[in-house]
Amino acid sequence: MTATVTATALIRAEHVARTYGRGPAAVAAVRNATCSLAPGMQVALTGRSGSGKSTLLHILAGLDSPTAGAVSWPGLGGAPTSLSPGTVGFVFQSASLIPTLDVAENVALPLLLAGQDPRRAAAAAHAALGAVGVGGVADKLPDELSGGQSQRVAVARALVGRPRVVLADEPTGQLDHHSAALVVDALLAAAETGAAVVVATHDEAVAERLPTRWTMTDGRLAAGGSGR
């Protein structure tokens, strides 16, 4: 089965599969998945741990390559790795912050890599941190943060450049209800400005806030109806 395919797509995956290893030990993480993302789409990607959600997000972001099928980025003009930093915002399950940079510097980094003026990048970083409720830790180093604070900083970094696509892998997994709500608010705000947003989540309260539901089961992707 497939998720909805749109005519005007930022990202399109067609019959994508990803297998790790060979022979009897091979693991099929994604099997024959077809989907596409149009501007403004808000998708909850649900399924049990190990169902292939993270692998699919990595393929859509160009961070991993399918072993079968094809992924393209027609609405972006090329693979994310060839585009300006921040065009596709990715939130990993682990925050993956640079330990030698303070929080504000971590968040501003995509803008600086894209050539933005440092003062404007710093102002945008502080605004993004405030949107997810961690404006008070801007001058701290990553090892001074709690796990939940680190995750919110990672979300701010993904959103700071006003990306055209946001792919978030369990962004609220370490957060309390209030903090999770702030993160989802920020992700939905990105969609309101035209970004396509996919949130992989186990949290039904998070999934219900996104109007489109994709479900993965044993590597297979299917549309699961409305999340609202």
Range 188-205 average pLDDT: 93
Range 167-193 average pLDDT: 91
Q: Is 223 helix (H, G, I), strand (E, B) or coil?
A: strand
Cβ neighbours for 105, distance < 8 A, ≥ 6 positions apart? 98, 125
Hey, CA dihedral for 107, 113, 114, 120, is it positive or negative? positive
CATH entry, 11-226, from 3.30.1490.20, 3.40.50.300, 2.60.120.10, 3.40.50.1100:
3.40.50.300
- Write down the pLDDT at residue 226: 42
**204, pLDDT greater than 70:** yes
Q: How confident is the model at residue 225 (pLDDT cuts 50, 70, 90)?
A: very low
Range 19-25 average pLDDT: 90
**228, pLDDT greater than 80:** no
- Write down the pLDDT at residue 2: 55
pLDDT tens-digit series, residues 60-105: 999 999 999 999 999 999 889 888 888 999 999 888 899 999 999 9
pLDDT tens-digit series, residues 109-141: 999 999 999 999 999 999 999 999 999 999 999
**Which helix (H) or strand (E) element contains residue 47?**
none
What does pTM read for this prediction?
0.91
What is the C-alpha to C-alpha distance for residues 130 and 160, in angstroms, rounded to an integer? Answer: 11
- Write down the pLDDT at residue 5: 53
